[in-house]
Amino acid sequence: MTMTPGASPETAVDDKFAQAISLLVAARTVTVLCHVQPDADTIGSGLALAIVLKRRGVDVEVSFATPSELPESMNELPGRELLVAADSVHRDVDLVVSVDAGSRGRLGALAECLDSADATLVIDHHRSNTRFGTLNVVDPAAESTTAVIARLLDAWNVEIDVDIAHCLFAGLVTDTGSFRWVRPGSHLLAERLLATGIDGASIARRLLDSHPFGWLPMLGSVLGSATLVPDAVGGLGLVYAAILRTDSAGLRSEEIESVIDIVRTTAEAEVAAVLKQQDADEWTVSLRAKSSVDVSVVAAALGGGGHRNAAGFTAYGTKDAVIAALIDALG
């Protein structure tokens, strides 16, 4: 992205909003794509934008490739009636919008939709974003993609009402870890969204603090086998745990994804990793760092991407082989 002298990264992104709005206004058919294994930031961003487009008379749909159903914790998000199954997504539309996906690969099987659309718009906040759209509105400094969507709607003079605010707050509260990782303006945006009348405590509780009883024995099994490698990361330490398919049977994706936020609290380790078994020798790996290590660089080296302090990748092989490759990449 080219910046004018003295312009901040945020200003450079804001300069793209007029072009993005032009694409959105011109389109009569739009598909909004969320990333695989969707979290509240990608779904919240997609539904907020789709609500706006639907109100403008646009034929709009939202989808994600996997899993086959929306995570249960997001079932109360407004606009979910605009979600369609991956195998029902229209392939011939005026515009495809990707939200919160750092690369084509994060869209899974639906990435092919990008090739048949007249134009593609990427809206994201991952520093590792590969700029795979016709137009890319990417702000690595933003705390969530929903925060970028909020600024886009302001530039469009669209009122953020209670339904849109609900979707935007869902992404903001989850991607900031209940406002533990914020930037200047994060709390101002939260206050503005709350002022519409949404119940922020209820939204946060459903997304972050509600688990079925089966989560507890899974957690006990996984955390009981966690391993600390104090000499890894140049002596800063690595802690890792693995969630086998037998551990996670019957649990929702949000239960599985939540484990990394417990493992990362290990005081003796700068970096935390959780390996989640997909098939016999396929693993998705979540990485978290405290402050000294940029795990987005590590993830990118292993075929993934993400943020400085939160990233991930997919690996193939035995658990020991995946861990060995990770330790090697961490240095």
pLDDT at site 8: 52
Q: Which residues fall within 8 angstroms of residue 24, CB to CB, at 6 or more apart?
A: 30, 53, 95, 97, 121, 156
Q: Are 177 and 284 in the same domain? A: no
Q: Please say if the pLDDT value at position 3 is more than 70.
A: no
Q: Are 112 and 222 in the same domain? A: no
Number of neighbouring beta carbons within 10 Å of residue 321: 13
Q: Are 226 and 101 in the same domain? A: no
Is the residue at 2 inside a domain? no
Q: Which two tokens stand for residue 270?
A: 């700068």
**Tens-place pLDDT, residues 168-210:** 999 999 999 899 889 999 999 999 999 999 999 999 999 999 9
Number of neighbouring beta carbons within 10 Å of residue 278: 14
Q: What are φ and ψ of residue 150, in 5° steps?
A: -60, -45
**Tens-place pLDDT, residues 94-109:** 999 999 999 999 999 9
Q: What is the pLDDT averaged over residues 280-305?
A: 93
Q: Which two tokens stand for residue 13?
A: 């992104």
Q: Are 182 and 50 in the same domain? A: yes
Q: Are 184 and 284 in the same domain? A: no
pLDDT at site 199: 98
Residue 19 · residue 48 · CB < 8 Å: no
Q: Dihedral sign for Cα 69, 71, 72, 77, please.
A: negative
Amino acid letter for position 10: E
**Tens-place pLDDT, residues 148-170:** 999 999 999 999 999 999 999 99
Domain end point (choices 178, 209, 240): 209
Q: How far apart are CA 327 and CA 331, in angstroms?
A: 6
Q: Are 252 and 297 in the same domain? A: yes
Q: Are 24 and 149 in the same domain? A: yes
Residue 172 · residue 144 · CB < 8 Å: yes
Q: What's the CATH code of the domain at 305?
A: 3.10.310.30
Q: How far apart are CA 129 and CA 110, in angstroms?
A: 17
Q: Are 169 and 221 in the same domain? A: no
Q: What is the pLDDT averaged over residues 280-301?
A: 94
Residue 86 · residue 110 · CB < 8 Å: yes
Q: Are 137 and 197 in the same domain? A: yes
Give whole-number Cα distances, 176 to 173, 182, 241, 309, in Å: 5, 6, 23, 11
Number of neighbouring beta carbons within 10 Å of residue 216: 11
Question: Which residue range(s) make up the domain with 302?
Answer: 214-330
Is the residue at 128 inside a domain? yes
Q: Are 249 and 198 in the same domain? A: no
Is the residue at 124 inside a domain? yes
Count of the separate structural domains present in the chain: 2
Number of neighbouring beta carbons within 10 Å of residue 129: 23
Nearest residue to 79 (alpha-carbon basis) of 116, 113, 53: 53
Domain end point (choices 161, 177, 209): 209
Mean confidence (pLDDT) of the chain: 93
Q: Please say if the pLDDT value at position 11 is more than 90.
A: no
Is the residue at 119 inside a domain? yes
Give whole-number Cα distances, 202 to 123, 177, 209, in Å: 27, 15, 10
Q: Residue 237: pLDDT band by 50, 70, 90 thresholds?
A: very high
Q: Residue 9: pLDDT band by 50, 70, 90 thresholds?
A: low
Instruction: Determine if the pTM surpasses 0.85.
Output: yes
Q: Are 69 and 114 in the same domain? A: yes
Q: Are 49 and 148 in the same domain? A: yes
Q: Which single residue is written with the structure tokens 């503005």? A: 192
Domain end point (choices 144, 179, 209): 209
Is the residue at 132 inside a domain? yes
